Structure formats: structure tokens, C-alpha cells
Structure 1
């Protein structure tokens, strides 16, 4: 009898163990299904501390990595990629907890760059031909190649290099007699002969041929060179004060670019690039203005 009772107890314990095991398995199945149902409802592949990693995010992530896969055949690769995405999300969350976006300049710069990239990519449309033409017409000077000019100059030093009146009409008047002689020599012979006689230039090596106007800028600045390029061929300028003295210029030749439809087609790619950059800049400015208007900002004076 005792043996039978002992065997019955064993059977009862065994059955209890079986039922308990089945219960745990059933619970795991229910939990797994509930988890999958939750993920499915949210169209998520994972949820990390209440942050959803959506199917779209996952597909973009895989695509950006350049991975090529078949869903049925490459589940192991997909699991590895999902695990990596979860780890990255955990690191991002930890970075936010540590306030790295506030404390670390590198993190802030990268975040700002990404936000700017996102803003300018929204509604990024291909510009029309009319828009490109209009932009080109407004900014034509930016695309016209610099002209070539051939010029020469005679330099006369001011009499008093340290005078406070240097460059004034009083200063120029002290050289009037010399200027009269120079212009008379130019009129009776030529500019080159007058230069041989009167030029006091010891520093400026002016090319004796057509040269890019940018070379002129380096010597005399934009204002003088642009005025020089507007002179008639063969004409001589009045004395122009520069570098403690006066220059008299002559324009021998000028070579300007032909601006026509063929020229536009040659620079069109540059124009489109610049147009898109300006549109992007305008988008960013408008968005920043929107953020400022809709934010509570307090500015404190540095004074």
C-alpha cells in the first residue's frame, strides 16, 4: 500500500510538472504573440524604451548600407542589422540623457548640419527654364569672364611725399606744369615717348600686351581698372592719384567676351547650381525666422 501511495505521489508530481511546463510554454507563446501584435499594429520592427523603429526606417537603414537581400533567404543578416540599429538607438538615447547635444560642440555641429540638410531637401523641385533665365539675367556679371586689357601708364611722384595735403587739388597743382609738358609730348609724339622722358615708376611692371583685368586689380584696385576699361581705345586719362603720386593711363586695346545664347548654354550648369544654392539659403532663412517667431527667446545685453 505504501508503495502504491508513493507511486501515486510521483505521478501527481509528474503531472503537475507537465502542466506547469505547458503553462509556461503557453504563456511564452501568448507573450510573443502579444509583442508581435503590438509591433505589427505600430508597423514597427522594434521598440526601444518606447521609441519605435519603424519598418520604413529599417528599410532605409538597410538600403543606405548598400545591403542586397531576399527576405526569405537572409533572415540572419536582417537580424544582425536590426540588432545594430537597436544598439545605435540605445547609444542615441544615452547621448541625449548625457546632454551631449548641448555639451559637445562636435555633436551639436553634426546635429545642426543634419537638420539643415533635412530642411533644404523638403520640396526640392527642379527649376524651370524661365526661373534659370531670370536668375542668370539678374546675376549675369557673375558669369561673364573677366576681360583682357592692354594699357600703359606714366607715374609722377608728388613733390612732398609726407604732406597732409597729399592727393588733394593743392597737391596736384604743384605738378601742373609737369602734366602740361607730358600731355604736350603725348600729343606731338606719342605716349611711349612721353613715358621714356617723364615716367618715375620704379615698382609697377605693366605688361606690354593684353592681360587679364584681374592683374590690373592687383596693381591699382578695381575702381581705377574698371574706369580704365570703360575708356575709348587710344584715349588718355587725366592724372589719377595713387600711391603718393599720379598715374596717367592710356588704353591700347580691350578684349570682351561675347555674351549670347551659346555663352548661356556653356555656363548653364553653374547657373542651375547657384540658383539651387540660393533657394536652399532662402528656405533656411525662412525656416529660422519661423522658429524665432514661434519660440520664446530672451536676449540679454552684453553692455
Structure 2
């Protein structure tokens, strides 16, 4: 068993997730405290563009399992690929970003390794007594420290807004270790596996976002959101319930199980503001919450809030925005 830290390099098939470099930096911090180094793990149908991006990361080595069969995310195949990487690298700690994929992969790997796992963590520290993580409890009403028991490897999934520190590390390009894919003898293929290649707009790069939640009521009301986004030149995003219903693509989901965004303006429409969603947008420069429930948790993180019926209010806001841009019809809109 080495003292190294293995970091899972999550990607969408074409590019690494936007916060992976910071997760690697956190891995460097932990690895230096342990006396080891950081190894990246890259799994998928890896093209030259994605591999070139991974080579820019500040880790000493990248273990790669590349196979056409990994083009779409299938949990058993990805788990098998990561098992091969674990066997080849023998890490002390395995770091994941807390996401939809890691919520499925990390527990399965930990079970196969008979190893402990803690997810939804805010931080990880190396103490004289061992490895400790900090994580929220009781819907983030309190935080606590958790110490690992038993033998490593220790599996940890970190919330994506928790690793910002840039830790100096090896400036040399990482070496590449290619590892073959061992296919499970009995493989269950999930129909319609999560496609990692998507041409959808990358919401993590948007400067203005209009995010919609279940409070919108009906799917047909999404037209109101789209009209407002068009008037403001914004990108449409959503909370998990909207993606789960299939009303918007999963690529537009914001939160722990979706994407982390940090736009200049974030307008949350009909979003209650559970911690899983807030984790993905709390660092936005300006947060405006529009909700009919005055006690909605989203108002705790919002800079401005409007308590109103969305369906009546948003068309008025859209008309006002269009008039401000000189595109209105010059007629007065009715009050909501």
C-alpha cells in the first residue's frame, strides 16, 4: 500500500469537469501531508483532446483505461476499469468530486475493496491520529468530523465548492500509465446509459443563468422561463426535479448531482433551495430568488428575493427587460 492519493478525473467525454484541477490540487495537499504523490485516474473512450487536457494537471502520474466500450457511462464497466487502476496504483486515499456519477461508482468500489467511504464531505485533513473528514449532518444544520477506521484505501467524495486552494506541486507533465479494461464475466448493460458526449450548451461557462425548479408548475410554463432568458441574454438551467422529470436535459442541472456554476447573475425561479442545489450555485456574484413561498431556503443565500406567483410575474419581468433593450412594443404591461 502506497501513501499516494488517487483522484478520479470525471469528464463529459470531451473535456474534464471544470473543477477537476482544484480537486487535483486538494489531492496534492493531502498527498504531501502523507508523504506521497497524486495519481489521476482517467476512464472512458479517451481521445487526444481529453488526454492533452489531463496532461496539464499537476499530478505525477495519470492511469488511463481507454476503450470504445466506455464511450457511454455504464456503471459496471466503469467500476471494473477503476478496480484495475486501484490494483495497479494501490492508493492510500481515493478522491471523487461529489456528483451523480461518484454517488454510484464510489460506494460500489469501496464495497468491492471492503473499504470505508464518506461522501458529501467539505474537507479532508491528515492528522497524527489518521485521516479525518468534515461533512454536514441534519440537512447542513451542523457539521462534524469523521475519522476512518480499518485499513486503507479510504474513499472520499468532496463537495465541489470545498476545494479552492491551489497547492504547488510537480511542474513536470504527468507520466501516462495505460491499463487494459477487464470486462466483468457477467455484465448488465443499462439501457440508454448516460451519454458522456453532449452538444448541449455548457452552463458552467454562462455569465447569466435563469434556473427553474418544480415551482414552475407545468412543463408548458417553461416557455415563460425561455422568454425571460431570451430577453436577458441568459442561459436556462434547472434543479434536479426538472431534470428527473425529463423537462430539461441533465446537462442543464445545477447542484451536487449536476454542475457547479458561478455566473455574474443567477435567477432562481421556483427553486426551494435545498443544500444539494445551493452547493452548485452559492458562489454566484448576484443571486436573485423568485418564489411563492416566503420561507423557502433559497432566500437564505439570495442577495435579492421576490415572493410572488411565478407564472404571473415572469411575463411582466420579461416585458420590462425587452422594453429596456428597446425591443418592447411600447405598451404598458399589466401588474402581476
TM-score, normalised with respect to structure 1:
0.18
TM-score (norm 2): 0.17
Structure with greater strand percent = 2
Rg larger in structure: 1
Between 1 and 2, higher relative CO (CA 8 Å, sep ≥ 6) is seen in 1
Q: Which has the higher helix share?
A: 1
